[in-house]
Structure 1
Amino acid sequence: MSNKLYYIYIDTKILGAVKQLLSYFQSDVFNPNACISVYVKYYKENSEVISEMFDENGIRYKFIKKYTDISFEDGKVVFYLFNAQSNCRMVAFRNVSHVFITHGESNKKSSVKPITRIYDHVVTSGQVGIDRYLKAGLFTESDIENNRVIRLGSTFVGQNNYFYEKESRTLLYAPTWEGGVPDENFSSISKGIHKLLLKTIEDKGIKKLVIQTHPNLGHRDKNYKKSLKLLLSKFVKHKFSVLLVKNKISVKDKVQAFYCGFKYISSIKETSVSHAITDISAMEVQLLVKNIPTTVLANKEDYKDLVIPRKMNDYYSNTMVFLDKKDNNSICFYTSESIISYVESYQENSLKNLTLSKRVEWLCDYVNKEKLVQTKLRENI
């Protein structure tokens, strides 16, 4: 097999989305040697910063200003992390296979957008994704039988550096961002979360609070960054140990944090936690696969609009905390034993024991074999 296997296409003005792509290279899901090039839709306002980001990480890339800038080698694979209108034009190149890997597994509305049908294959972490697509009507049982949806376990759920340690008495709070549009907003950070966190800290004997926000927080609505500052100030007033996760921490950051009464912690530092609280987001599955006791927050009215598979819905009925419900006395943390095999499974059992980058190599090979199978089937019709 050639070591030049795939392209990646990204169309976004959000730098946080580019950072999410880079995290796949940093965690060795994607390999710079196997990636022929990252094709980046050109936007003048962020092209210089994006160039620096890719150059620093030794990743080949090319900005796309017009479609004649695109040239794909026959038989290769193009990966997509994010849905964008321009993706519809990209999939018209039929000399390659187009695979939507997403940028995490979650029950957000964005997980069941109709545009998902344009790709040759879609990757999911397990049966939960298949059932979600079937319930949403995006794919049929025939599509599933023809391997349009491929289970690849923890490969693309995203990585973090947390691990479970009961004695750490550290609580992780990981709110999601406010979404690209108001209808996709599942962030808890502006919904009076302070009291709920404080009660959890008291109930569980928590000694430290680690806050990791979604990298896009405040992109659409800058008030969400104000909500973060307000939350920090409230815990500082309680004289509580608060750590805020950040990718790059400057001397200036450290000085400002010192005078504000909290500390920054690097996202690459391994951190033990005893409990975690998050929103409906990809972080939920990241924590599940690490077996960290977790609870998920949501508004009941927003939850009703989501496409949740029955088995997951039953699970949430015992574990989820609804922020708009007035009788929440305390949070019940759950571990993954009862749901993990539903959330994480593999197209082939041997995949679980492969490294992340080897799984991606397997995926490229699998997709090309499936293309040959489908081509032969069409020729016989």
Structure 2
Amino acid sequence: MIVIYLDNKIKGAINQLISYFLEGIFDKDKTLVVFKFYFKSYFYYKKELRKYGIKYICFYKNPKLENVKIIFYPFNAQSNCKMLANYKAKHIFITHGESNKLSSIKPIIRIYDYIFCAGDVGILRHLKYKNCNELDIKNKKIIKLGDTFVGCNNYERDLKSFSILYAPTWEGGLKSECYTSLSKDLKSFKIIAEFAKNHACNEILLQAHPNTGHRDFRYKIYLMQGEKFLKSLGFVVKKVGWYYNTNIKNYKIFHAFTDISAMEIGLLNKNIPMNIFFTNAKNSMIDDELLNDYYEKINAYNIDLNFNYDEYLKKVKNKYIGYTFDNLCNLSKNKRLEIIIDFILKNH
């Protein structure tokens, strides 16, 4: 039995985790979700897990886990350290999407036996922040799993589409790590409206992060005001995703706008051109000539209308998405995970 350990108060965290089951990465018949009790999230977690038939255990202090060989951690928490006292198990940090947020390189990541990332940028990021060294990479403590855990989205690029996606991230748990473009002045909505007008697009897909407003309720208000603003200009606004408890499969879009977040890498993986709203919050981007040039040109606050996205997308994607073992690329996500688990148990 595989265990996924979750110590998180935020309701949206369970939806992010469940998405990995819906993508087929984790087999619900072979996986147990172990989560810590918090009154504000317990009933919601229980309802969502039961809805999808996912086995779970809720604990108050210390969970009793016997004969467990693999424990996955999608989020960092202080109690994760206690779990590592179970020396018979291998402890793997999988994060909850690949991103350039500071949360992706917290020092606590060093405690795990293995770290999963999407590709070369992920490895370079961990090297930069000293979460690993060259020997760790050689010994495959950090494993590249491509798009396995970057998050799945239901969008496809279509140059004939009249739809634009706006997927802002949430305000973060700390003010210093606020990467959202949602704001009182509705600047992001105004920029998107102008872009849509210039490209004859009349529909905006609005996908808010599940945690929007968790730390600061005002961001929910900014989101609602932005929606009303777009509608007042005559745009059709469709609300999609966990936040709105709705989704649209295989929706075709012309372009996307997002923030520094896992959504960026998810869109990149689908070869969808985008612009990113950069805030003043410090990020974990690596210093790379190609990436520096790319991010300068896709800055949503200074849009380059002559920028040729297709010249960059493949090169940038190859930096973010890669595999430690080449044979994993064409396999299903569940099969990739099975092979990596087998590798870890047999070789380490």
**TM-score scaled by structure 1?**
0.86
What is the CA distance between 1:356 and its match in structure 2?
Answer: 0.9
Give the 3-state SS of the residue equivalent to 1:107 in structure 2.
Answer: coil
| Equivalent residue, structure 1, for 2:100 | 107
Q: Tell me which amino acid in the other structure corresponds to 1:21.
A: L
Aligned to 1:263: none
Correspondence for 1:276: 256
Gapped runs of 5+ residues in structure 2?
A: none
* Alpha-carbon distance between aligned partners in 1 of 2:199 and 2:24, rounded to the nearest angstrom: 36
In 1, Cα distance between equivalents of 2:276 and 2:329: 26
Flag the 1:350–1:88 CA change in 2: closer, same or farther, 3 A. Answer: same
Match of 1:12 in 2: 8
Q: 1:334 maps to which residue?
A: 309
Cα pair 2:210 2:242 within 8 Å, conserved: no
Partner of 2:66: 72
1:157 Cα deviation after fit: 0.4
How many aligned positions are there? 343
Q: Structure 1 regions of 5+ residues with no counterpart?
A: 251-265, 372-381
* Of 5, 16, 26, the match for 2:22: 26
Q: How does 1:227-376 map to 2 (within 5 A)?
A: 227-247=222-242, 266-299=246-279, 301-302=280-281, 305-311=282-288, 313-321=291-299, 323=301, 332=307, 334-335=309-310, 336-371=313-348
What residue is the counterpart of 1:135 in the other structure? 128
- Comparing 217-226 with 358-367, greater Cα deviation is found at 358-367
Task: Say whether residues 1:212 and 2:207 are aligned partners.
Answer: yes
Partner amino acid, structure 2, of 1:362: I
Shift in Å, 1:307 = 2.7
Asked whether the equivalents of residues 276 and 298 of structure 2 are also in contact (C-alpha less than 8 Å), the reply is: yes
Go from structure 1 to structure 2 and tell me whether the alpha carbon gap of 1:10 and 1:167 turns closer, same or farther (over 3 Å shift). same
Paired amino acid for 2:143: I
**Letter of the aligned partner of 1:279 in structure 2?**
D
Contact 1:294 1:333 in 2 (8 A): no
CA offsets per residue over residues 224-267 of structure 1, 9 Å max, x none?
000011101111111211111144878xxxxxxxxxxxxxxx32
Partner AA of 1:285 in structure 2: I
Q: Whole-Å Cα distance in 2 between the matches of residues 114 and 233 of structure 1?
A: 41
Counterpart CA distance in 1 for 2:53 and 2:308 is 41
Aligned to 2:151: 158
Aligned to 2:240, the other structure's residue is in SS state: strand
Q: Normalised by the size of structure 2, how large is the TM-score?
A: 0.93
Work out the percentage of aligned pairs sharing the same amino acid.
37
1:290 alignment partner AA = K
Which string of whole-angstrom CA distances, capped at 9 and with x for unpartnered residues, describes residues 311-333 of structure 1? Answer: 2642444433164xxx6575957
Q: State the structure with more CA Rg.
A: 1
The 8 Å contact of residues 133 and 139 in structure 1, kept in 2 or not, is answered as: yes
Distance 1:317 1:289, change over 3 A: closer
The alignment partner of 1:122 has SS state of strand
What SS does the corresponding residue of 2:40 show, helix, strand or coil? coil
Q: CA deviation at 1:288?
A: 0.6
Whether the 8 Å CA contact 1:276–1:294 is kept in 2: the answer is yes
In structure 1, the partner of 2:187 is: 192
Alignment partner of 1:179 is 2:172:
yes
Matched with 1:118 is 111
Matched residue of 1:353: which SS? coil
* Larger mean Cα displacement after TM superposition, 184-193 or 168-177: 184-193
Mapped contact 2:258–2:274 kept (Cα < 8 A): yes
2:93 maps to 1:97: no
Matched residues in 1 for 2:316 and 2:328: separation?
Answer: 20
> Is the 8 Å Cα contact of residues 319 and 333 (structure 1) preserved in structure 2?
no
Paired residue secondary structure (2:82): helix
Counterpart-to-counterpart distance in 2, 1:332 and 1:175: 22
Cα deviation 1:164-188 (Å, max 9, x = unaligned): 1111121101100000110110000
Mapped contact 1:100–1:123 kept (Cα < 8 A): yes
Report the equivalent of 2:77: 84
1:286-309: CA deviations, max 9, x gaps? 00110011121103x43xx32322
| Runs of 4+ displaced beyond 6 Å | none
Asked if 2 retains the 8 angstrom alpha-carbon contact of 1:200 and 1:331, the reply is no
Q: For the residues of structure 2 that align with 1:334 and 1:224, how far apart are their CA atoms?
A: 31
Q: Residue 272 of structure 1 aligns to a residue in which SS?
A: strand
- The Cα RMSD (Å) is 1.9
